[in-house]
Every structure is written in C-alpha cells, then in structure tokens.
Amino acid sequence: MKMPKLFEDKAMFMAKLVIALRVVQGIFALLVLGLSASVIHWYQTKTIIFSPVEFNFLVFNSVWSLLSLAGLYCLPWLIPRIQHHYITFPLDMSNALFWLSGFAALCAFFGRLHFCRGSICQAARADVAFTSFSFALWTVSAVSSTLALYKSKRGSGNQQQEGAAAEKGEETNKEAAGIKPASAEQTDAAAQSA
C-alpha cells in the first residue's frame, strides 16, 4: 500500500503543521483582541465604572501572542546561530501560562457577574471561548517545543557519548594490535628530533 504524498516527507509535513498552528494562533489572538477591546470600549463609554481588569489582561495576552509569533518568525533569520528550540520553548510556555491565567480570570469574572445581556454579553462569552481555544493551541505548541528541546538535548548528549566511545574503541584496537600509545615525553622527543 502506497503512502499518501502528504505524509511522504515527515519533516515537511510537521513544518506545514506548525505553520498552520501558528496561523490559527494568530487568528485567535486577533479575535480575542477585537472582542476584548469591544468589551473595554463598552465599559468606558456606556458605564461609569472602569473596564474589568480581566479584559485588559486579555488585550495584553493578545498583543504578547502577536509579538511572540512575530519573534518566532523573525528571530531565526536575525540570530541564525541560536537554535530555534531555545526561542520557541520560553515563548510557547509563557503564552500557554498567560492564556491559562486569562481564561481562569475570565471564568471567575463570569462567576461573580450578576447579569449579562445584550450584544456586549455575547462578545464577552465569545471572548471566553476563543480564550480557551487559544490556551489549548498554545499548550499544544508548548508540549511540542518541550519535546523538540528534549530531543535536541538528548541528541547532542548521544553524539558526545558516541564520540567518546569511538575514541575508546580506537585505543582498544591499537592495544590489541600491539601498538602502544606514545607518552608525552616520547612525542616531545620525536618533535625535537624532526
């Protein structure tokens, strides 16, 4: 049975999947930004109280996510020597934690709300939904970048162990063949005579 062309190159498939995930994260961040801004505007123009701090925090979350996405896109070209995993891991983890905090704060806000009516209430409820989706997407990204970081560290450790084992194997082969390693004194004497 022939594998579908989409799955032939696993690395290319994963790259496309990550790009799609980042695009959806950006779209949800823009949606939350718009919904939160509309709730804040309503509070500032239609009521005499300040806008709830939960919605202000969601505006921060959205802006932070958009800046993170811009950084994830630009930093590998601006700083090519740093490994990509060291950039994605902290940004994904911080975004996942911020979205979790925003979602929990918004749920607590609706828990203590006495009434909710009109289009602004629908916008606030939609804000809760998109905040939860954003948290889920950033959590998937955080788990993915954690696994990638773990694999990259594990891979570099294996390469160092393999290099040490290869050197030890060469020494063992030389000893078995009757070739003794030269001491430092013999090496210095040979260098001086040459």
Give the residue extent of every domain in the chain.
10-154
pTM above 0.85, yes or no: no
- Model pLDDT, residue 158: 52
On the question of pLDDT at 93 being above 90, the answer is yes
In the structure, what pLDDT confidence band is assigned to residue 187 with cuts at 50, 70 and 90? low
- Average pLDDT over the chain, rounded to an integer: 81
Across residues 108-115, what is the average pLDDT?
86
* Higher local confidence (pLDDT), 36 or 190: 36
Across residues 95-124, what is the average pLDDT?
90
Across residues 1-6, what is the average pLDDT?
57
- Model pLDDT, residue 84: 77
CB 96 within 8 Å of CB 135: yes
In the structure, what pLDDT confidence band is assigned to residue 156 with cuts at 50, 70 and 90? low
Closest CA to 106 of 63, 60, 52, 31: 52
CB 63 within 8 Å of CB 34: no
Q: Which two tokens stand for residue 98?
A: 């911020």
Across residues 174-193, what is the average pLDDT?
54
Q: How far is CA 119 from CA 14, 115, 131, 173, in A?
A: 40, 13, 18, 80
In the structure, what pLDDT confidence band is assigned to residue 167 with cuts at 50, 70 and 90? low
Among 18-22, 79-83, 156-160, 161-165, where is mean pLDDT lowest? 161-165
Q: Positive or negative, the Cα torsion across 105, 107, 111, 113?
A: positive
Q: Which two tokens stand for residue 185?
A: 């004194």
Highest mean pLDDT among 23-27, 179-183, 185-189: 23-27
On the question of pLDDT at 184 being above 90, the answer is no
* Higher local confidence (pLDDT), 145 or 76: 145
Closest CA to 36 of 102, 116, 113, 115: 102
Rounded Cα–Cα distance for residues 105 and 91 (Å): 21
Among 10-19, 22-31, 57-66, 185-194, where is mean pLDDT lowest? 185-194
For 49, phi then psi, to 5°, come to: -100, 160
